[in-house]
Each structure stands twice: as C-alpha cells, then as structure tokens.
Amino acid sequence: MGSLRDVHGCLVDLDGTLVRGQQALPGASAFLEALEGRFVIVSNDAEHTPLELSRGLKRLGLAVAQRRIVLAGTTALDEIALRLPRARIYMMASKSLMAHARDQGLVPVQTRPDIVFLGRDRQFSYERLTIAANAVRDGAELVAANPDLVHPGPDGAIVPETGALLAALLACTGPVPHRVIGKPEPALFEAGLALLKLPKRAVVMVGDNPATDGEGARRFGLRYFEIRDGVFPLLGSAPPQHESASLLALSA
Ligand SMILES: [Mg+2]
C-alpha cells in the first residue's frame, strides 16, 4: 500500500505514456506541469540524444529540458566512455549516437573494436551484422542499448527495435555475455534517480509497460503507477491501495 502524499518526484516513461507516435497524449502536458519540474523522463530510446528529444517534445507542446531526459542509447555510451575512456567502438546506431560517442571521446572504428554497440540502427545490414558478429567472436564486449524486440507503430504496425537486432547478432555468435542498459535493467532508473536527487521512497515510476517500466521499478525498489487510458496519477490525491487500479480510481 502506498500513498501519493509522500511522492516528491516521478520517473516517467515516454512512448505510450507521454506521447504516441507524433502526438502528445491527452493529459501529458498537465501532468508534467503538475510535477513542477520534479520529474525525469527515462526512455529506452536508442536513437536520439536528449537535446533532439527535447526539441521534438517541444513541437508536440511538451516543455522538457534536455537535462530531464535519460535515454538508453546515450546513457549506454556515457557509461562506456566512463569505464573505458577512448575505447574503440563498432557502432550499429544512428548518426546522432555516433556523434554523441565521439563527443564522449569514444573512437568509432570498423575493425578491431573493444566494444560492439547496438542501438536502433535503421541502416542495419548483412554487412554490419557480419562485422559485429566477428568482432564479438574475436573478443569485443557487446553492449545493447535496450532489450526491446519491437514497439507499436501507427495502426498496430510492427516497428523493430534494438533487441531484435541483438537477437540476430546472438543468433550468429551463440550465447555470449553482454550488457543491456535499457529498462527493465537498473541503469536508467539509477541515472534518473540521481538527477531527481530524491530517495527511492519519495519517487514513483510512471509508465505504460509492466514488463519494462513495472518490472524494472520493482527490481530497483521503486513504486510503479501504470498509465491506462491516459489517466495520470495526481499528486496529493487520495492514497491508492493498488497501483494501476488506483489510477483508474483517481480519475473518478
Ligand atoms: Mg512506454
């Protein structure tokens, strides 16, 4: 049982929670305003930088500073740069993430990488798969930005995600140890919480996906509120008994 009265900040998922496709969801803007800056967006996005996303959200009517955005792709690269400064990295990723890697001092290469990095690579190809699989076989460390296989597109279309590319690579290499950064793993929750500067007991994860947002929050030790039908938790409202049910109750 938890009360929303002692909630002082939120980690908030993006896709399906605040936006869907190219539209802000109803209530998203009001929800963020009600939080008065006490939130950080934590998203498995493995393609953009926080600055790009901040600009994109502004076009949708959501004002979110880039310092309030934690993304799987850039977080993964930041972590690699911290752990292995100037590492040689083979990147299957967007141009934005390539530029971010260089900004962090990493060195994108085509041969003999220390790291093979998987983001949402829309130029994924047989050639890239060949290079990545052989680099991993030769001992490069494998890092994937997120484990998601797909996400829903317009009219229920299947949009392949980073995890699908990871599955292709692992099909070639066989099972190898690898690191995954996105939810439900703890890295994004840790980064978000550090930005909020709040204890876990004062923070709630708000999301739409029980397998990533919910499971990740549970493992990390955060309460979880699930958005359903665009109903957002209202801070200071009646204490809920059960997380997702309570959101429906709060809308009454
Ligand atoms: Mg989501």
What does the block give as tokens for 21?
A: 């496709």
One fold for both 4-44+184-250 and 73-180?
A: yes
Round the CA-based radius of gyration of the chain to a whole number and report it.
19
DSSP string computed for 164-179: HHHHHHHHHH-S--EE
Domain 4-44+184-250: CATH architecture, name and number where available = 3-Layer(aba) Sandwich (3.40)
Residues 107, 113 contacting (CB under 8 angstroms) = no
> Mind listing the pLDDT tens digit for each residue in 41-81?
999 999 999 999 999 999 999 999 999 999 999 999 999 99
| Average per-residue pLDDT for the chain | 90
d(CA 225, CA 210): 10
Ordered by start, the domain boundaries in the chain are: 4-44+184-250, 73-180
Between the CA of 167 and the centroid of ligand 1 the distance, in Å, is: 21
Residue 241 in this model has a pLDDT that exceeds 70:
no
d(CA 129, CA 172): 9
Between the CA of 206 and the centroid of ligand 1 the distance, in Å, is: 9
Provide CATH code, domain 73-180.
Answer: 3.40.50.1000
> Mind listing the pLDDT tens digit for each residue in 93-146?
999 999 999 999 999 999 999 999 999 999 999 999 999 999 999 999 999 999
Helix axes 126-137, 162-173, angle to 10 degrees: 60
Between the CA of 209 and the centroid of ligand 1 the distance, in Å, is: 5
Amino acid 6: pLDDT:
78
Q: Which positions are annotated as active-site residues? A: 13, 15
- pLDDT-based confidence at 242, cuts 50/70/90? very low
Amino acid 229: pLDDT:
67
Helix (H, G, I), strand (E, B) or coil at 152: strand
Amino acid 234: pLDDT:
55
Between the CA of 225 and the centroid of ligand 1 the distance, in Å, is: 12
Helix (H, G, I), strand (E, B) or coil at 36: coil
3-state SS record for 182-212: CCCCCHHHHHHHHHHCCCHHHEEEEECCHHH
Between the CA of 42 and the centroid of ligand 1 the distance, in Å, is: 10
Between the CA of 211 and the centroid of ligand 1 the distance, in Å, is: 10
Between the CA of 19 and the centroid of ligand 1 the distance, in Å, is: 9
- pLDDT-based confidence at 244, cuts 50/70/90? very low
Return the higher-pLDDT residue of 237 and 87: 87
Residue 5 in this model has a pLDDT that exceeds 90:
no
> Mind listing the pLDDT tens digit for each residue in 157-215?
899 999 999 999 999 999 999 999 999 999 999 999 999 999 999 999 999 999 999 99
Amino acid 26: pLDDT:
87
The model's pTM: 0.90
CB within 8 Å of 154: residues ≥ 6 apart: 21
Amino acid 99: pLDDT:
98
Between the CA of 13 and the centroid of ligand 1 the distance, in Å, is: 6
d(CA 65, CA 160): 28
CB within 8 Å of 75: residues ≥ 6 apart: 181, 187, 188, 191
